[in-house]
Amino acid sequence: MASLLVRPETHPESRSLRAGPLAVVLAVALLAALTAAVARGSTSIPPGEVWSVVWRRLSGEAPRPGTNDLIVWQLRLPRALLAALVGAGLGLVGTAVQALVRNPLADPYLLGISNGASLGAVAAIVLGLGAGGALGLGLSGAAFVGALATFALVWAIARRGGGFAPLRLVLAGVAIGQFLSGFTSYLVLQAGDEQQTHSVLFWLMGSLSGASWPLLAVPAVAVPAAWLCLQARARALNALLMGDETAAGLGVDVTRLRRELFTVTSVLTGVLVAVSGAIAFVALMVPHVCRLVVGGDHRRLLPLSALFGAVLLVVVDIVCRTAMDTQELPVGVVTSLLGAPALLYLLDRRLGSDS
């Protein structure tokens, strides 16, 4: 009976053949999603007009005066691109953390880094550092510092046992993360006025509303750089999945690899949280879904997770902006509401296939 329940065992040839076309499909989907993201909103702009505005700007022609240029170039395009960058970054971070702690259900929250970034940002809002520009540089800086401080703390605790045993890393991360969330909650309660509390909560649930061209600069460098770093180590990441000893036997310097992975993960998480708040579930779910489709080989998994994460977050942000007439939804609300059922569905399928 059991054999009837086993998922059809796909051939890897078909999986790796699947990865190429899938990447093309996702790239096209990303372009379409970006166009839709810029076209849709309180003022609808035809897709052709979107592209013509972008083309004029990129080719250096003088922009046609009017509101369309303002809406497309100054408001919606930076936001759509930020969504794509953050989504791609979350896909990469999730893939890296899952290999780092050898657990396919891990994300940066598990290492406490997202919590640290959140605490930094909330402290900035409550202490008034972010005042003035609602999501100004003070806030992003504080989130980044929070992420790196947590990274240093978790690192110091995890390495005391020698090496970076995955379980130790997770335990240290979860403990520190919980501690920091407690602190964050305390600060939220201490927040002086309703406006502050609102902006803190909004930020904690993730938001891309602070997007602007200058804000794009850091993630536009950090996300591709992190991808290259990880892609160069794709084979070592594969080896790490089998275990530390196996990886060592294959010539991988495991302690160094973990150090590098942890550093890349923390810096990238810090950058992402700094520009978009703490967006739940994307980092956990995206690599997991991609793995089910193209298998666990990181040479395929990393680029596809980045692409899928980008498409997903651009689409989610469209929903956030347009679902309600009166106000925007935080990104994290939508990712959680969509992500949790999707994850349960996947887990259910897995349990069925493994029994």
Binding residues for another protein (CB under 8 A): 6-7, 9-15, 98, 102-104, 162, 231-233, 235-236, 238-239, 241-246, 248-254, 291-292, 295-297, 299, 354
CB of 301 to another protein, least distance (A): 9
- Closest to another protein by CB, 89 vs 303, is 303
CA 335 to chain centre: 11
CB of 256 to another protein, least distance (A): 9
Distance CA 292, CA 301 (A): 10
- Closest to another protein by CB, 191 vs 248, is 248
Extract the tokens encoding 121: 């940002």
Distance CA 333, CA 280 (A): 8
- Closest to another protein by CB, 107 vs 297, is 297
The number of residues in the chain equals 355
- Closest to another protein by CB, 13 vs 325, is 13
Question: How wide is the angle at C-alpha 284 spanned by C-alphas 178 and 234, nearest 5°?
Answer: 115
Q: What are phi and psi of 206, to 5 degrees?
A: 85, 130
CB of 161 to another protein, least distance (A): 9
CB of 39 to another protein, least distance (A): 37
Identity of the amino acid at 119:
L
CB of 268 to another protein, least distance (A): 19
Question: At 334, which helix (H) or strand (E)?
Answer: helix 331-354
- Closest to another protein by CB, 234 vs 279, is 234
Quickly tell me which residue has 């995890």 as its tokens.
158
Distance CA 340, CA 159 (A): 33
Extract the tokens encoding 189: 């309660």
